Structure 1
Amino acid sequence: MSVPATDLPHVSDVRSELVDEAVQSLDLSGKIRLLSGAKMFSLWGEASIGLNEIVMSDGPTGVRGEGVVGGRESCLLPNATLLAQTWSTAVLEEVGALLAAEAADQQTHIVLGPTINLHRTPLGGRLFECFSEDPYLTGVLAAAYIRSLQSRGIGASPKHFLANESETQRTTVDCVVGEQTLRELYLLPFEIVDQDAHPWTVMASYNSINGVTATEHAELLNDILKKEWGFDGLVMSDWFATKRTAESANAGLDLVMPGPETVWSTSLEKAVRSGEVSEETVDGHVRRLLTLAARVGAFGEHRTWPTDVPGPDSNVRREQLRRIAAQGMTVLKNDNATLPLAKGTGTVAVIGRHAIDTVAQGGGSARVRPPHIVSIGDGLASALGPGVTNLDGVETRTRMVAAPASIVRDPETGTPGMRVRALDVHGNVMESRHFDVAELEVAEDGWLADAVRIELSVDVKLPSPARMRVGVIGPGEWTVTAPGHHESFTVTPHDGPGGGLHRPKSHVSVVPLESGARITATTGPHFEMRVIGLVVTAAARPAAAAIREAVEAAAAADTAIVVVGNTQEQETEGQDKKTLALPGEQDALVAAVAAVAPRTVVVVNAATPVLMPWLNNVDAVLFAGLPGQEAGDAVAAALTGEIEPAGRLVTTFPARDGEGPAWATAPDAGRLEYAEGPRVGYRGWHQSGAEPLFWFGHGLGYTIWDYTSAQITERDRAGVKAVTVALTNTGQRSGNETVQVYHLPTDDGQPARLIGWAQVSLDAGQSGTVQVQCDLRTQRIWNVKEHRWLPLSGGSLVIARGLGDPRITVPLENGQES
């Protein structure tokens, strides 16, 4: 599945003499200035050498731009696990092209992604942003994404290097990982993307690895990444991750982010003068920076930006994002061919908070502002016609989000959004601005920097009087007023970088409101950088009342579709989960509906495994991920079969909390032991003989597949290079199949591992063959004593639809099926 990138710029492609001349022309302070960020998401320009400013953006699921909230609208893609569930390099190439166009439209040079850490434990809060529990699948898909992005002149930054598989104490945790495990699992995705896609940057993580913080880890940065692998790009720090000057500069870190003031800007020159860091080391960092600048068109030959990029709300983007999301969705269960649903299928009750308030993206730095989010309820109503009714479900959120623009108006203009005013010490208005959304980013160098108090205000638009939750998000000393309500309180920041910038705390009270009611909140600028906003949302209903209404609707309908899922409280940067159970009383809702409905379909609006205690009592389950801006239309296309949801799981689902080879994310005395070694995910499940709820690689699609034969067609001393598989679509519909090849070693100490896969599309009744290219990088063992790779020998190959559904076994002794 790996394709070498031969058409991407290397160091030799950039005029080295131009780089050398620039380095020689700068004095020490001028060179050091370039090695820290200029602002939160940009790098310094230097006119004397022809260097332009370089702009970066967070971007695994969309190009947000330099602002954290309230910026321009951008395409919101399906989340990374949903993209990975396609198992398609073509899809990831399409995603890379889309992101490159979005970045170019925003004059952004570097997209900070993809995130290629592994799903070590299903509790990881940031798994939604990562591809898979398997290092090979992760590396190959990420390489396709990076090749596509960079072939269009936009830099990628695979992250976080290294062993950043959980969020608990992420800035201080010491991840203790054995050498063999590091090589075979956690380094492998980075090795694959370096060899197959040549990324122009790599981002070093916050955590320590075996006692050494990532930004100071000379063995990883200098010895393995730069020297052994020959990485010719730039290593940047994660934001605020760099702790010490000489140690990080000497270890191989090239750029400290963000800026303008960093440990390097304040003390690197002194370290050079004292001899702790050589000027030659600084020159090496600057060379890599200027090489990056040349690649993205900010140094040497400067780039031009396109003017004809389709907008995020354009038909071409909507079609792309709907199709990609639907393709990755995974049919987990489908008794009696319940799915796909036919138009005119009778009456349908769509039930659940996630049908009304669909979660399209995770929380944290990956968040973007989309032009819209199509709810699953609206998508199904549009696709299935007038027989559909939508019904709210039980509460799923405890942390509030900013008020939607649909129910708040700027008191001065009457337009959707919020009024923000900067007040001086006397309460006079220094400046007043309109915001399209009910939240904003407060920065120390922004227009609110000189304000003594900040005032947020909206008028509420409601169809009828209602009890509403009214309050704020974001740290500060707040006063909130509404008709008949006055309250003062303090919201504290989170610990860690940025004080929880991407997941601000909230405070609300229940207030009876009429349409037109004015809500005002004021706060002082006591925290330098934060996101603040107004909350206006309906008061929570008792779960019992919501379930009772759902039961009545389900009993009266021909089909009940219950939409459940996680929110940004579970799927978020900066915080891990405590349980895989769905939040709130969603399990009780599903059970109650399934007890009365003629047939029940569950749509899971979550990126990562959830518990399903009701699984045996429902007819079908569609795992829909976090589907992006076209969420509802994509789910409808999948449920009706307009687009086959041919996705395959990228993570193994436990049946109960605590099951699986790795579980806890909390460090013990600051150390997180990766005690399971290389037995992560399906590798550990298979070796233990335990049965998960759903295996990695599982996915039913909408047809039936018969595997008729398999044989090894290419091999050498290092391992199997190709397997040819014959199969037939014996179902009633055309379909897409993902043929998976696993190596099962005879050595009990070695776990099963995916070594290749291929995809084929066949019409009903059609037979075909597919050649699966197998990667030798998955068929080797790291010898700790000799510090080198040895081939993995013996055992057998299993050709499967996931390890829970093996079809053909091929002994490696003779290469013929058995």
Structure 2
Amino acid sequence: MTTDLASLVKSLDLPAKVRLLTGASAFTLHPAPEIGLGELRFSDGPTGVRGLKFTAGRVVSLFPNATLLASTWDEGVLHEVGVLLAEEAMAQQIHVVLGPTINLHRSALGGRLFEAYSEDPLLTGKLAAAYVRGLQDNGIAACLKHLVANESETDRNTVDSVVDEATLRELYLLPFEMASDAWSIMAAYNDVNGVPATEQHHVINEIVKDAWGYSGLVMSDWFATKSAAPAANGGLDLVMPGPAGPWGDALVADVRAGLVDESVIDDHLQRLLLLAQRVGALGAERSWPSPLPLPDSPVRREQLTRLAATGMTVLRNTGDVLPLDRTQRVALIGRHAVETIDMGGGSAQVNPPHQVSVATGLTAALGAQVTVVDGVDVRTRPVPARDGFLTDPATGADGIRVTLLDASGEVLEDRFCPQAKTMVGMDDDFDGTVASARLSGRVSVSGSVELGVMGVGDWTVTEPAPLSYSLRASGNGFGEEVLTPPLRTDRFDVSAGDIFTATVTLTTPVGLFGLIAFHTPRSTVDVIDDAVRAAAGADVAVVVVGLTEEQETESVDKSTLGLPGAQDALVEAVAGAARRTVVVVNAATPVLMPWLSRVDAVLWAGLPGQEGGHAVAAALLGDIEPAGRLVTTFPAADGAAPAWSVTPVDGKLPYTEGTFIGYRGHFAGRAPEPAFWLGHGLGYGKWEYSDVRLVAGGEAPAVSATVTNAGARTSREVVQVYLRPAESDEPVRLVGWTSMTVAPGESARVTVRTDGRLWRKWDTTSESWTRLADGELLVARGLGDIRAVVS
């Protein structure tokens, strides 16, 4: 039955309409029973469906991060991920998942790149479209974010991204266009060419809604909306979060003053009702399937292990040291081996049932053949207590106890916090205002330890020794109280069973608070000495290095691609002592590898999700082929890239490289030869190409080739086709790819169909699309390994 949405809109008066266009809470919308509209429920979702709570929500599955999933170069994988995320959403009765993130990897310094797929618009767009289909085939709305030119985090709420029209359309809008079957889109924090993204009449109205015919809803990023009439007229349909915001009475007044036509409000509301209808929140309430796989169920563990391992990428494999021989003695070394980083920081974080370390995964596979040695420190900023260092004094479970109190000292809520942190002001389900919070945890170790607190406020530590101090936000960025709150630690001598208790008097209505606990750090020299001894006594050393949520996070960009701490020195020392050295890189984005020529193999493992350690073990041992191909070009040095700086000057960040980002700029000689090209990945096969030919002309030609697996193992190959335009001022670009799995000694005939959208350019004179002149098609395993040229 089709609902007359326009009639429902007309049945409401102006204040009632406007009320529905701002959220009711952090992650919900207002219901309107009089027109059959139920509550819509949103959840952050790039790496798991967290639910309605920022930290205090239910246990949910933690998926591999976006760059790792995208490294499969497989639309089927991303469709499967969409289906699984839909299951996670349905288990919580969530209607809208806030993903995928489809901003491009403009500069490798971008702190939030781990949430986004690639530096390439075609790869990003096709994978995002598959993810969207997987979600929406199950009645769960996807939300494309962040519209648009939102490729870095520095000054993200005030930065003005200065982008020419051709670059905007050919690069940064293309993934949104390709995935525009999504039922919602999120407008970004930044300005674009001097206009806030939430007021972008040109982008939202003229391009997205008019040129593309987009029927979905455009919502703001959280707290991004800066105005009433300009945002409403600029095409924004929904302000998030609520219940406060810049619309409400101000927007009603602007309509009545003639600054906004009421038909604009009606269009916004009709789009919201269409979203509600699509997800089953308008009219008869939808049914929610049950039971669904639990986050720690065998089926979910298998899925998440396979998805992570398949996307891992073999960057180097001298002498076929990988896959590892199961009879070898392995020295497993590194802080990332024992504390594997499975997710990035910020709003992408979830509360998983567990996070399997590489040490746990490889030891489970090889048993006593593995010797585990901790590595050098990798953080400058400690994190909330983990790995059972603190336990809840009430239940004994890993985590802490938090009691929230009002100004009179009455208890508002008593919380168990398994991640040793909690959000105040966004996760609250009670009436009343939090004035203070008491945090406590039982210490599980004895000796000299570092204990501390995190969060804005006035703190008093009562046990194990009295201390008082204040912590304040630095003022360096929006959302610091939530995303990177201040912290302090002090050294204490404790006995197992001691209670650590601290109370904070709040000075901000919203913030993240937690307890920190960790062992007193050892000297770098002692740590490296231990690693060298272990490496010398093993058949192979596996060193796990990487980044942390300090570098890969919302709200902060990187300043270097170098590994933090003394990790490079650790690798160099191990490589000098070991018979063979394998390096596993536990990071979502490029890192510098000054030791590359001195190690035998490198496996790029991304942020592999809750089953990360099992996935790394499966990839190292060949139980699952790490068949990934890079989705981002790895620069050979800091600054050695076509686009680098993420720091605005006088508030502006010019995209001066135009369409020559990433591999496009490297190939044109606008940056030095990279360490690894987009599309690079060795897998565990060896490939020969023959009989490459153009099989179809026209607007979007196709290329066929015979690929032969000359290796000893069944392997998956990704055949990539790039266009090198005849026009010298146009960059090379990926125009198509396909993949196949081939047994050793066997061949497959494949056809790669190119995408017509990459054969066009935006003519700024005629303000229209024109076709590129013909050029050469490069058939390649990444642009560093071109196998044939056809024209």
In structure 2, which of residues 53, 56, 60 is the aligned counterpart of residue 70 of structure 1?
Answer: 56
Aligned to 1:609: 590
Q: Which of the numbers 732, 751, 776 marks the counterpart of 1:771?
A: 751
Native 8 Å contact 2:412 2:432 kept in 1 = no
Judged with a 3 Å threshold, the aligned counterparts in structure 2 of structure 1 residues 299 and 424 are, in CA distance, closer, same or farther, namely closer
Structure 2 equivalent of residue 45 of structure 1:
31
The worse-fitting range, judged by mean Cα deviation, of 508-517 and 99-108 is 508-517
**C-alpha deviation, 1:437, in angstroms:** 3.5
Q: C-alpha distance in 2, partners of 1:520/1:118? A: 44
- Give 3-state SS (helix, strand or coil) of 2:437's partner: strand
Taking structure 1 as reference, are residues 270 and 424 closer, same or farther at Cα in structure 2, changes over 3 Å only? closer
Tell whether 2:6 aligns with 1:23. Answer: no
Q: Which residue of 2 aligns with 1:285?
A: 268
Percent identical across equivalent pairs?
53
Q: Which segments of 5 or more consecutive residues in structure 1 lack a partner in the other structure?
A: 1-13, 812-818
Residue 536 of structure 1, CA deviation:
1.0
Are residue 687 (structure 1) and residue 674 (structure 2) matched? no
2:506 to 503, 525, 535: 525
Give 1:746 shift: 2.2
1:302 lines up with 2:285 in the alignment:
yes
Instruction: Name the residue aligned to 1:409.
Output: 391
- Give, in whole Å, the separation in 2 of the partners of 1:256 and 1:518: 44
User: In 2, Cα distance between the equivalents of 1:568 and 1:139?
Assistant: 26
- Residue in 1 aligned with 2:639? 658
Aligned residue among 144, 155, 161 for 1:169? 155
Instruction: Report which stretch shifted further, 500-509 or 93-102.
Output: 500-509
Root-mean-square deviation over aligned CA pairs: 1.5
Residues 343, 385 of structure 1: 8 Å contact kept: no
How far is 1:187 from its partner? 0.8
Tell which deviates more after alignment, 476-485 or 333-342: 476-485
The 2-side partners of 1:372 and 1:785 are apart by: 56
CA distance in 2, matches of 1:167, 1:415: 36
* Aligned equivalent of 1:715: 697
Q: Single out whichever of 483-492 and 352-361 deviates more from structure 2.
A: 483-492
Alignment counterpart, residue 737 of structure 1, candidates 692, 712, 717:
717
For the Cα contact (< 8 Å) 2:412–2:434, is it kept in 1? yes
Q: Aligned partners of 1:405 and 1:522: how far apart in 2?
A: 23
Q: Match of 1:646?
A: 627
Amino acid at match of 1:15: T
On the 8 A contact 2:704/2:752 being kept in 1, the answer is yes
1:188-337 matches, cutoff 5 A: 188-194=174-180, 198-337=181-320
Deviations 1:201-257 (A, max 9, x none): 000001111111111110000000000000000000001111011001011110000
8 A Cα contact 2:393 2:400, kept in partner: yes
- 1:351 paired residue number: 333
Shift of 1:485: 5.1
Q: 765, 780, 783: which is aligned to 1:800?
A: 780
Q: Deviation of residue 439 (structure 1)? A: 1.1
Asked if structure 2 preserves the Cα contact closer than 8 Å seen for 1:476 and 1:492, the reply is no
Does residue 501 (structure 1) correspond to residue 488 (structure 2)? The answer is no
Structure 1 residues 451 and 733, CA, compared in 2 at 3 Å: closer, same or farther? closer
Residues 747-758 of structure 1: matches in 2 within 5 Å? 747-758=727-738
Work out the CA distance in 1 between the residues paired with 2:789 and 2:653: 37
| CA distance, structure 2, for counterparts of residue 27 and residue 448 of structure 1 | 30
> In the aligned structure 2, how far is the partner of 1:707 from the partner of 1:506?
56
Deviates more, 1:482-491 or 1:260-269: 482-491
Once residues 175 and 342 of structure 2 are traced to their aligned partners in structure 1, the CA distance between those partners, rounded to angstroms, is 27
Preserved contact between residue 471 and residue 534 of structure 1 (Cα < 8 Å): yes
Once the two structures are superposed, residues 266-300 of structure 1 have per-residue CA deviations (whole angstroms, 9 ceiling, x without a partner) of: 30000011000011110111100000000000002
State the Cα distance separating 1:636 from its structure 2 match: 0.4
Residue in 2 that maps onto 1:103? 89
Offset, 1:447 = 4.0
- Spell out the pairing of 1:416-565 with structure 2 (5 A cutoff): 416-423=398-405, 432-443=414-425, 446-447=429-430, 449-462=432-445, 465-484=446-465, 486-492=467-473, 495-565=476-546
1:538 CA drift (Å): 1.4
Tell me the TM-score normalized by structure 2: 0.98
In 2, are the aligned partners of 1:115 and 1:130 still within 8 Å (CA)? Answer: yes
SS of structure 2 residue aligned to 1:647: coil
Match of 1:178 in 2: 164
Alignment of 1:370 with 2:352, yes or no, is yes
What residue is the counterpart of 1:11 in the other structure? none
Alpha carbons 2:473, 2:485 under 8 Å: kept: no
C-alpha distance after superposition, 1:158-200 (max 9, x if no partner): 0000000000011110000011111110011011111xxx110
Paired amino acid for 1:20: A
Q: Specify the SS of the correspondent of 1:37.
A: coil
Q: From the superposition, tell whether residues 709 and 301 of structure 1 become closer, same or farther in structure 2 (CA, over 3 Å).
A: farther
Output the CA distance in 2 between the equivalents of 1:796 and 1:16. 52
More moved, 593-602 vs 401-410: 401-410
> Are 1:116 and 2:102 matched, yes or no?
yes
Matching residue's letter, 2:575: A
Residues 374-383 or 434-443, more deviating: 434-443
Given that 1:363 and 1:573 are in contact with CA atoms closer than 8 Å, whether structure 2 keeps it comes out as: yes
The structure-2 alpha-carbon separation of the partners of 1:452 and 1:745, relative to structure 1 and needing over 3 Å to count, comes to closer
Matched residue of 1:39: which SS?
coil
Moved more, 296-305 or 243-252: 296-305
Question: Are the aligned partners of 1:474 and 1:504 in contact in 2 as well (CA < 8 Å)?
Answer: yes
AA aligned opposite 1:308? P
Question: C-alpha displacement at 1:15, in angstroms?
Answer: 2.5
Shift of 1:484: 3.9
Q: What is the distance in 2 between the residues matched to 1:422 and 1:125?
A: 33
Residue 24 of structure 1, CA deviation? 1.5
TM-superposition CA deviations, 1:697-732 (whole Å, max 9, x none): 00001111000121122221x232x21111111111
Residue 138 of structure 2 is matched in structure 1 by 152
Match of 1:781 in 2: 761
Are 1:168 and 1:666, in contact at CA under 8 Å, matched by a contact in 2?
Answer: yes
Secondary structure in 1 aligned to 2:506? coil
Per the TM alignment, residue 399 of structure 1 is displaced from its structure 2 partner at its CA by 1.7
Return the match for 1:699 from 654, 677, 681: 681
**1:387-406 correspondence runs (5 A):** 387-404=369-386, 406=388
1:338 to 299, 306, 321: 321
Q: By how many angstroms is 1:649 displaced?
A: 0.2
> How far apart, in 1, do the equivalents of 2:722 and 2:412 lie?
66
Count of residue correspondences:
789
Q: Which moved more, 1:474-483 or 1:198-207?
A: 474-483
- Determine the C-alpha separation between the residues in 2 that align with 1:448 and 1:539: 41
Moved more, 418-427 or 437-446: 418-427
Aligned 8 A contact 2:185 2:218 in 1 = yes
- 8 Å Cα contact 1:410/1:458 also seen in 2: yes
The gaps in structure 2 that reach 5 residues or longer are: none
Aligned mates of 1:192, 1:425 — CA distance in 2: 52
How far residue 435 of structure 1 moved from its aligned partner, in angstroms, is 3.3
The range that moved more, 435-444 or 487-496, is 487-496
Cα offset, 1:429, TM superposition: 5.2
Asked whether the 8 Å contact 2:412–2:430 carries over to 1, the reply is: no
Kindly indicate whether residue 708 of structure 2 is the aligned counterpart of residue 728 of structure 1: yes
Tell me the alpha carbon deviations over residues 658-692 of structure 1, each in whole angstroms, 9 at most, x when there is no partner. 10100000000000000000000000000017311
Q: Per the alignment, in what secondary structure is the counterpart of residue 158 of structure 1? A: strand
User: What displacement does 1:500 show?
Assistant: 4.2
Aligned CA distance change for structure 1 residues 455 and 447 (closer, same or farther; 3 Å): farther
Once structures 1 and 2 are overlaid, which stretch shifts more, 108-117 or 535-544? 535-544
